[in-house]
Amino acid sequence: MSPHTHARRRGRLSAAALSLAAAAALLVTGVGPSATAEPGADGPAPSMNASFASAAAEYGVPRDVLAAVGYGETHFDGHRGEPSQAGGYGVMHLVSNPSRHTLEQAAELTGEPVAELRRDTDANIHGGAAVLRAYADKLGLDAAERRDVDEWYPAIARYSGATGVAARLYADTVYELLAKGISGTAPDGERVTVDGREVHPDKDAAPAAPPRAQSPDYPDAKWVPADPANYREGRTGKLDTIIIHVTQGSYAGTISWFQNPDAKVSSHYVVRSSDGEATQMVRDADTAYHARSANPSSLGIEHEGYVDDPSWFTDAMYRSSARLTRHLADKHGIPLDREHIIGHSEAPGNDHTDPGKHWDWDTYMRLVKG
């Protein structure tokens, strides 16, 4: 177990002792402390704001960097310990899949059990901070550089688990959030904010990435090809359906996952929540692995977000996706109705729930037809 974990747990126990002392004072004097005491080891969990602050202090990672990474990954929702599509857990999306093991790395660095890192938000945030600090140390960032938000760009790119374009997309998203500011809500209603500021990230230390090419099938999309293990060239069925998916993860993370040969999944397009940016990953003429028996006859469009969190389904996303769907329907002769534009949950032989109850089909189809 690391000294960091001992210190954190000692802090919790000390807080518990202070709470007991405060309670005793209240019994004697009838007057309590003016500020709320920290929770004890057996008391309520720390607030998310407190977790970001304590993890930042413990691991020397700027609090706003931690919060921006967490918001970019999950909008501050740990999803009750359920994994993302890529096997990521918690607010900080600590990953355990065949090719990436930041969950296990966090366990080694913090001394926290893997099960705790999956489901406990405080542990998960500290785990994410520990992994980020490990990347900063490998990059040789000193104490002064670690205090500078702009110096963290290459460490954040590494945290993505991606390479090339996807890694840059991930880090760019974090710095866009830092520039604009964040106002998010945790599942319990707690507000977590980051004030916007001018940012000038140091991109020189991040791996170089070639310019993103334009999509060969849709002029408004970028082109980042999926790994050949995740789709099949050509089709064995008549193309007659467009299937709407939700990524259960971030935009950059999904692009990275579809480039990973261990994934064995893909879609034709991925659409970003914040601004509707679209990336094509499989040619229309080829068979993406996204809907089982419906693969040969369908096109798949993934939408950044989680089915249980409507905050991801922005107007920009709906409008961009609707333009894409209309383009594909017109190009391939697919009728503009709900028999041919369907959710993943409606595809034959599937047990998925996306796009879920928060997806506004009436608005979406109105935009598609309009």
pLDDT in tens, 284-308: 999 999 999 999 999 999 999 999 9
For the stretch 142-171, what's the b/e string if a residue is b when 16 or more beta carbons lie within 10 angstroms of its beta carbon? Answer: eeeebeebebbbbbbbbbbbbebbbbbbbb
Residue 9: per-residue pLDDT: 45
pLDDT in tens, 88-137: 999 999 999 999 999 999 999 999 999 999 999 999 999 999 999 999 99
Report whether CATH 3.40.80.10 matches the domain 213-369. Answer: yes
Residue 358: per-residue pLDDT: 98
Banded pLDDT at 209 (limits 50, 70, 90): confident
Contacts of 142 (CB under 8 A, 6+ apart): none
Residue 42: per-residue pLDDT: 55
Residue 293: per-residue pLDDT: 97
Q: Report whether pLDDT(140) > 60.
A: yes
- Per-residue 3-state assignment (H helix, E strand, C coil) for 17-83: HHHHHHHHHHHHHCCCCCCCCCCCCCCCCCCHHHHHHHHHHHHCCCHHHHHHHHHHHHCCCCHHHCC
Q: Worst-scoring range by mean pLDDT, 41-55, 57-71, 89-103, 351-365?
A: 41-55
Q: Report whether pLDDT(323) > 60.
A: yes
Q: Report whether pLDDT(11) > 60.
A: no
Where do you find CATH 3.40.80.10 in the chain? 213-369
Residue 134 sits at the vertex; the CA angle it makes with 130 and 140, to the nearest 5 degrees, is: 140
Residue 227: per-residue pLDDT: 98
User: What's the chain's average pLDDT?
Assistant: 90
Question: What is the C-alpha separation between 13 and 278, in angstroms, rounded?
Answer: 49
Q: How many CA atoms lie within 13 A of 195 on its CB side?
A: 3
The answer to whether the pTM exceeds 0.85 is yes
Q: Report whether pLDDT(261) > 50.
A: yes
Residue predicted with more confidence, 191 or 14: 191
Residue 138: per-residue pLDDT: 97
**Mean pLDDT of all residues in 363-368:** 98
> Strands of 341-343's sheet, edge to edge?
213-214, 221-223, 278-280, 269-271, 298-303, 241-246, 341-343
Banded pLDDT at 211 (limits 50, 70, 90): confident
Where do you find CATH 1.10.530 in the chain? 45-194
Could you tell me which CATH number the domain at 45-194 has?
Answer: 1.10.530
Q: In degrees to the nearest 10, what's the CA dihedral of 314, 96, 66, 259?
A: -50
- Asked if 114 and 38 touch (Cβ cutoff 8 Å), the reply is no
Question: What is the C-alpha separation between 46 and 34, in angstroms, rounded?
Answer: 18
Q: 34-38, 76-80, 208-212: which has the highest mean pLDDT? A: 76-80
Residue 187: per-residue pLDDT: 96
Residue 176: per-residue pLDDT: 98
Residue predicted with more confidence, 175 or 12: 175
Which phi and psi (to 5°) does residue 20 adopt? -65, -40
pLDDT in tens, 160-198: 999 999 999 999 999 999 999 999 999 999 999 999 999
Cβ count near 138 (within 10 Å): 11
**Mean pLDDT of all residues in 17-35:** 33
Banded pLDDT at 7 (limits 50, 70, 90): very low
Residues in the chain: 370
